[in-house]
Structure 1
Amino acid sequence: MLRTAGTIYREWGLRYLLAIGAEHFIIRALADARSPSYWRRTETFHDRILDTDIGHYDYPRDPFELRYVDPAEIRRFSGRGSTLWENAMYEIGEVRDGEWDIEPYEGPLDDPELGITFADTLEETVLYRSLEQHFDDGTPWEDTEFVQRMCEIIHGSNALAWHGSSTCDDVTQRCAYLDSLYNRIKTEGFRSQRELQQRGEEPPRDYLDTLRSEILVDVGRDGEFLLVDGRHRLSIAKILGVDAVPVVVVVRHKHWVDKINSDPTSMAAHQELLVR
């Protein structure tokens, strides 16, 4: 029987998918076992199967690489979309044109938490001001504006609030986690999610989910870092005066990518600033 090109393509396509599936199963097993070879295997895996926008440029060479950034350099929120964090792990390595980097963040208009956790800059949020009050001034959590307003949301609409909190007790329990996070960063320094997993302090996650759990930023047309997610950890790092935090860059503005690829001097400065 004559085998057409389409038949051969489908056969090889199926074999490729099966091979990819088998490889993914193996690297997941390595992750669950906290094997040192997991990260090396999975980075190669994702570099090969994911066709990122940034992969069509010379720089940066690795869209998944952690960058180390002075927390003071991350102030504004990214203006890209209403729920920045939902699909972030699948947007890593994208390059986008447009005005999103100079527009203010506008979250879902019906989100009652928006006025508490977002503002023009992170330092202007109720969240950040309340963290400062608690950690610097010793204000009890229940006396902070953040907790009081979260409780108002819960009582006023019977809706779930911060991280699925359905009661004020849930909110204060979550605040206790922030206390432990603050103390850990203060005593041990700011560690990446990968380091925490390898130390057994966080449960093992797969590659993209681990990246998703880092502080996430976009890069604007002039190289400005714009916050996507990780408000609590970034706020604590700022309050503690941490020198540098690991971040994952999600989306880069096309003007910036074009600039660092056309001007080697600019590219070198950019890489020196971001990569450790």
Structure 2
Amino acid sequence: MNIIKYAKSKIVHLMPKWLKVALYKIWRFYWRSKTKLIPGKYYIDPYSKDETIYIDPDRIVYAVKEGFDIYQYKGRVFGGNWDKKVIRFDEIDFFKSFKRRIENNLDWEETEYYNRVFAQIKKGEVKWACRNKEELDERCAKLDALFKDMKEYGYKKGWNENEVTVNIGRNGELLFNNGRHRLTFAKLLGVKEIPVKVTVRHKEWIAFKNEIFEYSKKFDNKVYTKLFHPDLLNIPSHYTDKRFDLIKNNLTVKGGKLLDIGCHWGYFCHKFEDERFDCYCVEKSKLNLYFLEKLKEIENNRFKIIPKSIFNLPADMPKEYDVILALSIFHHFIKEEEIYKKFIEFLKTLKGKELFFEPHNPDEPQMRGAYMNFDNDEFAEFIVENSAFTAFEKIGFSEHGRALYKIY
């Protein structure tokens, strides 16, 4: 960290709470004003690449009622309510018809889809390049062959735009746009991951991506930990999955209550929710809370957000946890004498089966003039001496060289 960054961190640390809140509100107003006054600039996707993204087919629940041409509108950004005019994908007649066909061994002529298309053909319309019953029957036979091939050999990646395409709504919803046959087959066969292309994104989704981009400028154009939405996966992050993998491989409990102290944007709560933990995410930064709440909504997570200081938790919080995470957070509690004393009292009340602890490096510039400054083992020992835990062991290092401890 250079002297400028150190000075900035010191200024922020010394700011009174009311000033931090005021600056945050000014920042939010400034950003929203920019996006409204200069939409041509700020509705450009800062991370957009013409790339294929990979998703679980079951993540696509709804389809837009009026799809966008995959060539004419590729990469476009639109406002409006098109992302609200949707239908459940499993209510589309092809999905319902093919599902009934394979489950009940129906002939094509017994399905809603076939009868609808054939009725349109009889009126003189050309549907799927079919002008008569023979051509429609031939097309249906090809669909059967495609389903059989996918069942036997798995989902095969297409070429160019020959993929399932989706649109992304204002809250990150993946809305089906084109390629219903492939998506239907993938869903019915239980395929876990398929390639898709994005056709259109909602301008409010792009505004949110720009907020992430503006935030990342302060941190070497990276976010703190990786994000999970398929359209956010290509955003660079300072931390990968290494810490999660270390913790998971050293857990002795499977599921239960997990407390994440200083959870930032919710990475660990998201990951451990998938491991059947009930997660409590403690975060007091107003700016981090904005992104945390937004990302939780986008990913439909269940974890509980506690927008409080760890020293002022609500009375209805659990009194004991199976797993506690304290990653790159406890060193903030030893910089000043008053907070240090609160920290000791907090440790005395902390109850859990195992605590995973990532200390700072004691020679970091942010610790200059700190009230206390432990080396790594001393800090782990300090926690044991002031809590109900009795032992600790070093289990590895993060990608940035900080040690990771299991305390139990």
Asked if the contact 1:59/1:257 (under 8 Å) is kept, the reply is no
- Give the superposition deviation at 1:91: 2.1
In the other structure, the counterpart of 1:130 is 97
Q: 1:58 corresponds to which residue?
A: 46
Q: What SS does the aligned partner of 1:84 have?
A: coil
RMSD: 2.6
Structure-2 residue corresponding to 1:193: 158
Residue 49 of structure 2 corresponds to residue 84 of structure 1: no
- List structure 1 segments (4+ residues) > 6 angstroms apart after TM superposition: 52-55
- In the other structure, the counterpart of 2:312 is none
Q: How does 1:75-154 map to 2 (within 5 A)?
A: 75-79=61-65, 82=66, 84-85=68-69, 88-104=70-86, 120-154=87-121
**Structure 1, residues 230-250: CA drift from partner, whole Å, max 9, x if none?**
011111111111111110001
**What TM-score comes out, normalization by structure 2 length?**
0.42
**Post-superposition offset of 1:135:** 2.1
Aligned equivalents of 2:108, 2:189: Cα separation in 1 = 18
Structure (1 or 2) with the greater helix fraction: 1
After superposition, what is the alpha-carbon deviation per residue over 1:227-273, rounded to whole angstroms, capped at 9, x for unaligned? 11101111111111111111000111121122133234697222587
Give how far 1:83 is off: 5.4
Unpaired runs of 5+ residues, structure 2, are 1-39, 213-222, 235-408
| SS of the residue 1:191 aligns to | coil
Alpha-carbon distance in 2 for matches of 1:92, 1:154: 30
1:67 partner letter: I
Structure 1 159/266 Cα, relative in aligned 2: closer, same or farther at 3 Å? Answer: farther
Match status 1:173 vs 2:135: no
Q: Which structure carries more strand by proportion?
A: 2
Q: Give CA deviations for 1:130-168 in whole Å, capped at 9, x if unaligned.
A: 10122232212122222123222223x2322x3021111
* RCO comparison, higher one (Cα < 8 Å, 6+): 1
1:163 is paired with a residue of what secondary structure?
coil
Q: Distance in 1 between matches of 2:210 and 2:67?
A: 30
Contact kept, 8 Å, 2:42 with 2:210, in 1: the verdict is no
Q: Please, which runs of 5 or more residues in structure 1 have no aligned partner?
A: 1-51, 105-119, 195-209
Q: Does 1:184 align with 2:166?
A: no
* Residue matched to 2:188: 239
Indicate the residue corresponding to 2:56 in structure 1: 70
Residue of structure 1 in register with 2:274 after alignment: none
**Corresponding residue number in structure 2 for 1:268:** 227
